Amino acid sequence: MAKSPIRVLFVCTGNICRSPMAEAYLRHRVASKGLSPYVVADSAGISRWHQGEEPDPGTLTVLATHDISGEGLRARQITTRDSEADYIVVMDRSHQRSLPPACRSKSQLLLAWTPGRAPNDEVFDPYGTNRFEEVYDLITPAVDRLLEAIAEEHQLRSDTQGPDHGKMV
């Protein structure tokens, strides 16, 4: 078991669409598997355009449709301190190039976690297009696989009383 929480940071452009959606979904999955003491999700944006704002209404609507809380999500800009995250997961290659150097070396594209996808596939930006449900459909299998990989790598076991109790996630 991990001694301190494993920190996962999702990064997109303004931190109001893709990365907060991935953060909220990972939080939801972590809680449902009883792994909240072991895995912490966060998100940030390359830009500070929306700093302090809630996610885009399209993101919040999709999360609510899937009974996932968007509470407490606020846009912020990535900093060098974010290099302390264990996993830095970006939505597209432009985000990778724009990361602070200390973060860039440990970053990976989110869709690289999706089985059957090319490792350089990107999650498109739904801002202004109202394609938030499509983005959710891209993000969720990748986040699920990322969580499985984290659980395997760090030997995390579920603390829930359901069918996963005492088993590797």
Domain boundaries, the chain: 6-154
pTM: 0.91
Torsion of CA 108, 32, 156, 89, to 10 degrees: 10
The residue count of the chain comes to 169
Catalytic residue among 17, 18, 56, 103: 18
From first to last of its 169 residues, what are the pLDDT tens digits of the chain?
456 899 999 999 999 999 999 999 999 999 999 999 999 999 999 998 899 999 999 999 999 999 999 999 999 999 999 999 999 999 999 999 999 999 999 999 999 999 888 777 999 999 999 999 999 999 999 999 999 999 999 998 766 443 344 444 5
Query: Per the residue annotation, which of 12, 17, 82, 103 is the catalytic one?
Result: 12
To the query of whether residue 125 is one of the catalytic residues in this protein, the response is yes
The structure tokens listed for 82 are 């974010």
Token code pair at residue 161: 């009383």
Looking at domain 6-154, does it have CATH number 3.40.50.2300?
A: yes
Residue 144 known to be catalytic: no
164: left (phi over 0), alpha (psi -120 to 50) or beta: alpha
| Catalytic residue, candidates 86, 121, 125, 159 | 125
Judge residue 112's burial from the number of C-beta atoms within 10 Å of its C-beta, 0-12 exposed, 13-18 middle, 19 or more buried: middle
